[in-house]
Structure 1
């Protein structure tokens, strides 16, 4: 649902109607009050000095015989102007301080963050009073003091929200596209934090109103002959005990207006809630895919002719090494799958290849080459490498239409015009079987089903001319029917574009449907590499055997418990001697517990890291080497 429609829908609720009526009354009072009652509010009547409340004067008269009720109405304009001015100063200053750490370098960003933290720790009331004294007594000096007093808390909120958005996949993708920091802030960050910031600012306006009334009450705000509600309270201070109604008018105006600002905040919050997307009609389910034929080249031949060549890749984080000496080669047009349990290093290997390992991770490799480019010093050229992430909802910008996000790829990399890029986006959506692509291009990600969002991610990768598509568990959150459709789509994309595929999954059965070779990882290491055709009977490593045994099929006894792998994978930083799988392996020997096996070639296209493999292929090992 578009944002405007959401607000219109909320306005039809009791909360929305109440808020709209309150805002309308305040606006009418501020606009027409001084015009209609300005003369009455300023008229001095010596015969009516200090009169109590009654039918003629609802809240009585002041020390000069002026009608307090009329003065409360007239003061609405100045009070609201000053409140909104202070809120604007605070919101603008807080927004700038909040996004500066993202725009500036690390040292300057830390300085800004530390300054904000220091100001937030200082009591807000004392900070405002301090600023009011520094700037001097006066109407706009007080507005400036209150605005700066609001800024630190606003900046803290914006910093937290900006940090959460800056770590998302779609912002990382924007950086890879070469989008500048300022454009990332304006296009990707601010639209996604607008609703919570608007809610906070609306509620902060109530605090600004009370603070301004307090300063005027103390004589530090509005000065005579001007007056606001706080000034009116100050004028009636001496009469409160004699005629309490004289203070009820300005006091009630402050309370009711503060409640109205709070209602505006609640309206923003309610309108900002996402509604669940309607179920999408997926294409009819397709038959399971047959496995591709095994690769004809050996691993060594692929290394010579490979599109991607990785040798001794390591990914380190403070305190532990997450990926250890991974070597991987992918030939043009080949599909290679990486499988393993969660935490085995599959995704980090793919992210390291794409240059997307998050801070503070550090990547090193003896060789890290994609096509003719050294990825240790150069980024992949243009759109030759595409990434399909596991969670499309965090990879797509929720504030932008999907067609606009796809078009940005063509605009940045191919210098296409806006209209040509939009046409290309619709064409790519149609290529991945999105129904009614012209209309769907204008929808936002939350209006798509999970399977459709994954198709959009694949379409984004196809906006250029990718030579390699990295798919990081693209079917994990999908049901089996939609999963089958996505797998078939990936295979069709390979056939049409000739792109190679690096497919990451924890499900070895899924990998066997779309890949030529399988690389099995455990504890950040490659423990086996083999053709898909050998998964049936040629598996050598006990861990691969266990993964295969954990996949049920049509012959599995439904009365028996599902097969599992006993024990647990090593925790990050848990560095044991020997084979990392030894504590869970029934074939483990003393050598396995003390000496780590190395990944050795045992046949053409076959490598394994095990001292006691389950099966040894019937090949001449010397010839294989």
Structure 2
């Protein structure tokens, strides 16, 4: 049984959900059977029994032609329910179209659609329904269109909100990385993950549509004779309510009970599934990023697979632009493993997302040079960029649980890469997905490929994510905290797998981690980031013996080992990193550095290049006494 079926069964087990569900099933059964059982009797005209009150023969009395009101209420269930559900489905379809449009259309057109939706949502739904009914015309078809158009803006707002929340997930970023187009991204990754909340809100909306349809028919704008629904029967019975309320009471109770059943079932489902709406993300303009100091190019030592110079990432803030990544430069060569370390908020993950071209507006990415396999990423068109990154770059995200689409099997998600870029058939792509799972040592790959992500352990999900990267021919693997949520045994297995892929395929690895010892053991070179800059770049073999920046040395001192004196408190770095919108003048580490002086607090240090490609951005590297200080040569960028 799938996870979705299990959740909906859980809804049916709740007292409110069970009662509302049984009531809805009874209404549906009545809608199917009533016209067959009593349709002819409900239309029988009896001039001898005109406008009689309730009796044993006529439970709700008769109308102006002597027809049984009770039977007509039962028979009207089919038309009333059918029209309400049809109008709701129309509203959901139009709402999805309008809500998804900003994700597919050009930005200006998408903003125009969003503005129209925002204006429409400001008007009450019933008022919009009345307006559209008058404009479109009186009758059943006009009423269905009017109610569908009136409910569409609310569903569009909901679809926009839910799509925005799903679009920020890692599996959507992974799909963008492999080159999935906008429409396929929408239909395969976003819409299936918002289907449940939309279904719940559609159930609640059906009750509102039923009430709105009854209102239009009551006013004479909906169903026209000889057809009849509950609203029309209510209008006919209201004229004689002073004599006998029964003919009006019957259709009124039918509308209230059915609408209440829809609402209660929807609310029970929302409570059981944990569904709630999220605040709408606001769009922001993107002015030029504040200029920064010029960056000197790094020394050329072979053609890199990834070349980054003066990379900056900025976001709009209430008081101007915030730049959490400011002037980052580095290179990654074929077969090289480069580790990036630093505290949370230092800009490690933002740098990885920027070079992978995953960041979207309002993020603003600029660089003097940003090239992957010799191709400038900032100047390449979307189609060519998808092909390049989808086949040559693999991304392993931090959270294995959110790295995959939860409603699609693992094998199908891996096969999507081959279908998109290698133009394989569905069957051939799935067979390649099984082969890639086997290559990353996932046991029983034929069976596992047909399972869903929640059926995998954390380590297996990370293996499968690496397998997704191997569906193409990766030149670079970007691993963003790939072992954070795993135990130490599984961490070792994942890191060993990355090392094997690097050795066998010659792929470069950019490993982001908080664990500086892991980076030192698995990488060739280490980049130490602080406050959006690279403050030190050195060979991993020299990390423990030749680290020069006070921040790097403080990170190393804060790592306990077997020789750590347990009677002494653990070493910590005093203070907190600066916020991106509150960078201090001069060196960002100065408020926490024991060696800072007036120059540190006044001027931001430029990077200095030492022999063997060692770069340090500090006025007092190794407290001013290090052996490297004698061989300083200016140049490079941190």
TM-score, normalising length: structure 1: 0.89
Distance change in 2, residues 1:121/1:246 (3 Å): same
Q: 1:92 to 1:374 in 2, by over 3 A?
A: closer
- The CA deviation at 1:499 is 1.4
**Residue of structure 1 in register with 2:607 after alignment:** 599
CA distance in 2, matches of 1:394, 1:198: 22
Aligned to 2:191: 190
Residue of structure 1 equivalent to 2:376: 374
8 Å CA contact retained: 1:602, 1:621 = yes
Superposition pairs of residues 358-369 of structure 1, within 5 angstroms:
358-369=360-371
1:517–1:532: 8 Å Cα contact kept in structure 2? Answer: yes
Residue of structure 1 in register with 2:353 after alignment: 351
Which residue among 426, 429, 432 is the counterpart of 1:421? 429
Tell me what 1:577 maps to.
Answer: 585
Deviation at 1:7, TM superposition (A): 6.6
Q: Over residues 442-495 of structure 1, what are the superposed CA-to-partner deviations in whole Å (9 max), with x where a residue is unaligned?
A: 122223232222222111111122121111111222233332222222222222
Alignment of structure 1 residues 95-134 onto 2, 5 Å: 95-134=96-135
Deviations 1:254-303 (A, max 9, x none): 122213323553575478579xxxxxxxxxxxxxxxxxxxxxxxx97873
User: 1:322 & 1:359 partners in 2: Cα distance?
Assistant: 15
- Quote the residue 1:306 is aligned against: 304
Match of 2:502 in 1: 494
Contact 1:303 1:309 in 2 (8 A): no
| Equivalent residue in structure 2 for 1:391, among 396, 399, 402 | 399
Q: Cα distance 1:381–1:515, how it changes in 2: closer, same or farther (>3 A)? A: same
Moved over 4 A (4+): 14-20, 266-274, 299-302, 622-625
For residues 298-338 of structure 1, the C-alpha deviation after alignment (integer angstroms, 9 at most, x for no partner) is x9787324332323323333413322222212222111101
Residue 616 in structure 1 maps to residue 626 in structure 2: yes
Question: Which segments of 5 or more consecutive residues in structure 2 lack a partner in the other structure?
Answer: 276-296
Say if 1:496 and 1:232 are closer, same or farther in 2 by CA, change over 3 A.
Answer: same
Rounded to whole Å, the distance in 1 between the matches of 2:475 and 2:341 is: 22
Equivalents in 1 of 2:482, 2:629: separation in Å? 36
Alignment of 1:200-599 (within 5 A): 200-265=201-266, 269=270, 303-318=301-316, 319-378=321-380, 379=385, 380=388, 383-599=391-607
The answer to whether the 8 A contact 1:603-1:620 is kept is: no
Partner Cα distance (1:316, 1:33) in 2 = 64
Aligned-pair distance for 1:62? 2.4
State how far apart, in whole Å, the 2-side matches of 1:71 and 1:618 are: 96
Q: What secondary structure, in the 3-state scheme, does the structure 1 residue paired with 2:227 have?
A: coil
- 1:248/1:623 CA distance change after superposition, 3 Å: closer
RMSD: 2.7
CA drift of 1:17 comes to: 5.4
Question: Is residue 303–residue 329 contact of structure 1 (8 Å, CA) maintained in 2?
Answer: no
Tell me if structure 2 keeps the 8 A contact 1:50–1:62. Answer: yes
Contact 2:87 2:144 (C-alpha < 8 Å) held by counterparts: yes
Conserved 8 A contact 2:610-2:633: no
Q: Quick one: distance in 1 between partners of 2:22 and 2:89?
A: 23
Q: Alpha carbons of 1:616 and 1:551: their partners in 2 closer, same or farther (altered >3 Å)?
A: same
| CA displacement at 1:381 relative to structure 2 | 6.0
CA contact (8 A) 1:603 1:624 kept: no
Change (3 A) 1:506 1:622: closer
Question: Post-superposition shift, 1:19?
Answer: 5.1
C-alpha distance in 1, partners of 2:534/2:449? 41
State the alpha-carbon separation in 1 of the partners of residues 364 and 7 from structure 2.
46
**Contact 2:324 / 2:532 at 8 angstroms: preserved in 1?**
yes
| Aligned counterparts of 1:310 and 1:504: Cα–Cα separation in 2 | 16
User: Contact conserved, 2:309 with 2:370, CA < 8 A, in 1?
Assistant: yes
Say whether the 8 Å CA contact 1:315–1:321 is kept in structure 2: yes
Which residue of the partner structure matches residue 6 of structure 2? Answer: 6
Moved more, 423-432 or 515-524: 423-432
Deviation at 1:12, TM superposition (A): 6.6
SS, match of residue 545 in structure 2: coil
- With the length of structure 2 as denominator, give the TM-score of the two structures: 0.88
User: Shift of the alpha carbon at 1:543?
Assistant: 0.3
Inter-partner Cα distance in structure 1 for 2:627 and 2:428: 54
Aligned to 1:604, the other structure's residue is in SS state: helix
CA displacement 1:186-243 (0-9 Å, x = unmatched): 2222211111111111110100111111122222222222211111111221333443
**What is the aligned partner in structure 1 of residue 291 from structure 2?**
none
Classify 1:324/1:17 alpha carbon distance in 2 versus 1 (closer, same or farther; 3 Å): closer
Tell me the distance in 2 between the aligned counterparts of 1:307 and 1:222.
68
Alignment length (residue pairs): 601
Cα pair 2:177 2:390 within 8 Å, conserved: no
Q: Distance in 2 between matches of 1:588 and 1:544?
A: 15
Displacement, 1:352? 2.4
Q: Structure 1: how far apart are the matches of 2:233 and 2:446?
A: 60
2:89 aligned residue: 88
Q: CA deviation at 1:544?
A: 0.6
Distance 2:621 2:475 in 1: 35
CA distance in 2, matches of 1:17, 1:497: 56
Question: Does structure 2 retain, via aligned residues, the 8 Å contact 1:333–1:498?
Answer: yes
Q: Is the 2:177–2:395 Cα contact (8 Å) retained in structure 1?
A: no
Is the partner of 1:131 in helix, strand or coil? helix
SS of corresponding position for 1:304:
coil
Instruction: Give the Å deviation of 1:573.
Output: 2.7
Give the SS at the match of 1:306. coil
Q: Is the 8 A contact 1:546 1:565 kept in 2?
A: yes
Structure 1's unaligned 5+ residue stretches are 275-298
SS in 2 for 1:239: coil
Write the distance in 2 (CA, Å) between the matches of 1:323 and 1:233: 66
Q: What is the aligned partner in structure 2 of residue 284 from structure 1?
A: none
Distance in 2, matches of 1:39 and 1:426, equals: 61
